[in-house]
């Protein structure tokens, strides 16, 4: 799909059509979910600022801690292909793949979003009747972010790790 995210102003109807298309891609991604334990199937579609879209689904694991959420799957696919600037994500899911209510991202996914996204990054959650829209700053108002770590602190931390792991 051609998202063409140029700086021109667009009307509300055109914007809604874009998000509906993003949600449709998330719904499609949900079909690939591997959820034999929770039976919660989740799909996500991540819109990059260059207009490209990466989809993801949740992939469960018997150990549970190795499970990967749909949002992180989409982010990791995009980042692994060199993308670093993101505009929005659409997320949908539910038990057995049925959409009942909104399915907001977990804390770990929100932190991954914070790593790469600005406060105005949009998160679109599909419910049974509407698309709820939030910004990252609304879902993660006080966060640990890349600017939290100063370069001097990072150098100290890496030096300390190097000493500890070489003992």
Closest CA to 90 of 138, 43, 160, 155: 43
Is 85 considered catalytic here?
no
DSSP one-letter code for 64: S
Catalytic residue, chosen from 31, 71, 81, 100, is 71
Give catalytic residues, as residue numbers.
Answer: 71
């Amino acid at each position: 799909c051609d998202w063409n995210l140029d700086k021109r102003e667009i009307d509300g109807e055109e914007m809604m059509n874009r998000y509906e298309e993003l949600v449709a891609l998330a719904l499609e991604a949900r079909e690939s979910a591997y959820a034999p334990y929770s039976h919660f199937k989740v799909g996500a579609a991540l819109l990059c600022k260059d207009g490209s879209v990466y989809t993801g689904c949740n992939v469960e694991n018997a150990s549970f801690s190795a499970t990967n959420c749909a949002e992180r799957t989409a982010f990791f696919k995009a980042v692994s292909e060199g993308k670093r600037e993101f505009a929005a994500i659409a997320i949908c899911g539910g038990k057995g793949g049925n959409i009942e209510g909104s399915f907001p991202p977990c804390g770990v996914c929100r932190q991954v979003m914070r790593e790469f996204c600005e406060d105005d990054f949009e998160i679109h959650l599909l419910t049974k009747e509407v698309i709820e829209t939030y910004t990252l700053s609304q879902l993660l108002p006080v966060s640990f972010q890349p600017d939290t770590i100063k370069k001097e602190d990072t150098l100290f931390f890496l030096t300390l790790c190097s000493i500890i792991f070489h003992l």
